Amino acid sequence: MSETKDALVVFMPSGRRGRFAHGTPLLDAARSLGVYVESVCGGRGLCGRCQVTPTAGRFAKHKITSSPETLSAVGDVEARYTRRRALPADRRLSCQARIGGDLVVDVPTDSAVNKQIVRKRAETRHIDRDPAVRLMYVEVAEPDMANPSGDLDRLQQALAREWMVDGARLDPPLLPHLQKVLRAGGWKVTAAIHDDSAGPVIIGLWPELRQRAFGLAVDIGSTTIAAHLVDLMSGRTVASAGTANPQVRFGEDLMSRVSYVLMNPDGLPALTEAVRGAVSGLIDKVAAEANAGRDDIMDATFVGNPVMHHIFLGLDPTELGGAPFALAVSGPVAVPAREIGVEIHPGARVYVLPCIAGHVGADAAAATLAEAPHRGEAITLLVDVGTNAEIVLGSRDRLLAASSPTGPAFEGAEISCGQRAAPGAIERVRIDPETLEPKIKVIGCDRWSDEPEFAVESPAVGVTGICGSGIVETIAEMFLAGIIDEDGVVDGTMLERSDRVVSDGRTFSYVLWREGSVAVRVTQTDVRAIQLAKAALYAGVRLLMDRLGVENVDRIRLAGAFGSYIDPKYAMVLGLIPDCALDQVAAVGNAAGTGARMALLNRGHRREVEKLVRDVEKIETAMEPKFQAHFVSAMAFPNKTEPFPRLAEAVALPVRSGPAAGDPPRRRGGRRRRTG
């Protein structure tokens, strides 16, 4: 060993480097540097997961000349693997190849799933992989009369010897299967080890080498439930599915479901069964899509708002219906899946992410984990708009969270022509400021209504209503066109300029679409509903900004379905969100689901979300005296008292009527101020 100088080895892409004695297996070298190279078979050349690519040549940057030919020759074990599985020509099994000289090694991303790219819809995200469940192949000592010990005890010894897993307990449901599996595998078995905060547990056991383990990440929303099946071995999301939350039949919104539980003795079990049944259906779907069985799913993470979180766990949500909005559990819940009726592998575990407060749930915690305001220096505003808007604001220095009761207007409810996002719903609107004529886009058709193809390609149902994102855009365009003023009053004088503006008696409406006897219109009451909703949201955001002592935010992230579909520009024109450079406002899709997948794939992210939930300052907006004042100012478009200079650079806003806060709404035409 000491007759030759130790070799310098650099692992890419991490660039970690170290000197190693000749003869050291590359796998051992990687591990000693903390470079994550997967191995299920424990270095026996069976699983092929430890593949690496040695590279040749002079690397000026690393100051070494890499010589792959110094590696030990391909031996029997590696040759046998190559015959079975076709190892690419430039690859070696790092458990077999031994260091013989200086070397630069690429750890390829397809086998070294450490830095795995996960694709889900348009979203790309790196999730470092360190799952709670790992597969470990072991060769167990056979029973020996001269040295008697139990099958389990010898399995535990093998895990300790080969994988440094000490004191692994056996999950009780495995007890009756232990003997058979060990004998079926000829004392060669693969164990699934769950190792999170409660210590290592043997939760699965199969004969011989097994390299198949999936995890489930579920986001239980009030309206929809989404499930993702993730390959724990690669980190890839292999299937996704969604379904309507069947609890809707007990109540459209959260509070009506809480009332149902309060009023019906069997309400809680019925609601719990409904959501668990829906989850079970999704498991079937994603498993079928990935050609997997329920038994292949070894771990699961769940997120949801506090009411969904409680009902899913069988916890009474009625305490969440009134002050002090006490959660039964705010910390993470880690339980065997079988204890809460999730039928996957009998030994599988469930990890339910922690809730932040009575109105800020595990979904918000997961979205925060995913968007990571706590990791950066930028003051980030994260908003998830639903019946309650969940608001997180801050940076690595300090993080605040609150919720604001926006009501269901943003979801198309309480709007006269509002409807759920479905084919036929208007989702995009442009109003010509001169003619006041609109053009629209509906869900299910890519054409604008002024394009000739629209008549042919628009959905057979016709134009049926306006969805949540459509109403925001419509009202913003009405404001920009001067049809409504900054106080939200539909200008009756416009009656003269366009037949789109019609009288409803004392107030006026704007007709967005006419087709036969059907008219899709926005009424004064609709505008008021949106004003109330957006004022509640903005007042909450503004309160957090006060607390944090900032006048501006650097970045805005809009999470959730509504956040994904609204145009950030129109949201800011209406003053839903504070002024910010438009290129720093982005929809982040199902950030809660992303957070659930992160917690599924990496135990470190579990500790991270637990810490951020402990550390985040929880603000109860209802208890803040300034909330009302902020709310009143925020009734105006975009705001009665606050300037939106960065928005004004990007959009021609109507000229302000004046700085006076709390003016009563007046009937007055909007005037345009062109800037930028």
Contacts with a copy of itself by CB under 8 A lie at: 142-153, 156, 167, 169-170, 172-173, 175-176, 178-180, 197-199, 313-316, 319, 323-331, 333-336, 339-340, 355-358, 618, 620, 623
3-state DSSP of 473-508:
HHHHHHHHCCCECCCCCECHHHHHCCCCEEECCCCE
State the Cα–Cα distance between residues 559 and 565, nearest whole angstrom: 10
Pick between residue 150 and residue 293 the one whose CB is nearest to a copy of itself.
Answer: 150
The distance of closest approach from Cβ of residue 364 to a copy of itself in the complex, given in angstroms and rounded to an integer, is 13
Name the residue nearer to a copy of itself (CB basis): 295 or 617. 617
| Min separation Cβ 153 and a copy of itself, Å | 5
Cβ-based nearer residue to a copy of itself, 320 or 539 = 320
- Give the separation between CA 308 and CA 317, rounded to whole angstroms: 8
Nearer Cβ to a copy of itself (179/675): 179
- Neighbouring CB atoms inside 10 A of 248's CB total 15
Smallest distance from a copy of itself to CB 15, Å: 37
Establish how many alpha carbons lie within 13 A of residue 529's alpha carbon, considering only the half-sphere containing its beta carbon: 21
Residue 357 CB, shortest distance to a copy of itself, in Å, is: 4
Q: How far is the CB of 608 from a copy of itself (least distance, A)?
A: 18
Residue number, 186 or 331, with CB nearest to a copy of itself: 331
Closer of 307 and 481 to a copy of itself (Cβ): 307
Secondary element (H or E) of residue 370: helix 362-371
Query: In the complex with a copy of itself, which residue's Cβ is closer, 283 or 357?
Result: 357
CA distances (Å), origin 504, targets 99, 495, 526, 598? 84, 11, 13, 52
- How far apart CA 411 and CA 465 sit, in angstroms, is 12
Rounded to the nearest whole angstrom, what is the least distance from the CB of residue 347 to a copy of itself in the complex?
12
Rounded Cα–Cα distance for residues 525 and 536 (Å): 17
CA distance 284 to 348: 16
Nearest distance in Å: CB 171, a copy of itself? 9
Q: Which token pair is 521?
A: 């219109």
Instruction: Please say which residue, 325 or 448, places its beta carbon nearer to a copy of itself.
Output: 325
Q: CB of 218: closest distance to a copy of itself in angstroms?
A: 18
Alpha-carbon distance of 488 to 530, in angstroms, equals 9
Structure tokens of 52? 């690496």
Between 264 and 493, name the residue whose CB sits nearer to a copy of itself.
264
Shortest distance in whole angstroms from residue 173 CB to a copy of itself: 7
Given the structure tokens 């060769």, which residue do they identify? 139
How distant, in Å, are the alpha carbons of 217, 311, 341, 358, 624 from that of 308?
15, 5, 15, 12, 27
Could you tell me the smallest distance in angstroms from the CB atom of residue 613 to a copy of itself?
A: 10
Give the separation between CA 229 and CA 218, rounded to whole angstroms: 9
**Exposure class string for 267-278: b at 16+ Cβ within 10 A, else e:** bbebbbbbbbeb
User: Shortest gap between Cβ of 593 and a copy of itself (angstroms)?
Assistant: 23
Tell me whether residue 335 or residue 378 sits nearer to a copy of itself (CB atom): 335
Task: List, as one string, the DSSP characters of 568-583.
Answer: HHHHHHHTSS----GG
Token pair 């109860």 is found at 620
| Cis peptide upstream of residue 207 (ω within 30 degrees of 0) | no
Q: Which is nearer to a copy of itself, 74 or 255 (CB)?
A: 255
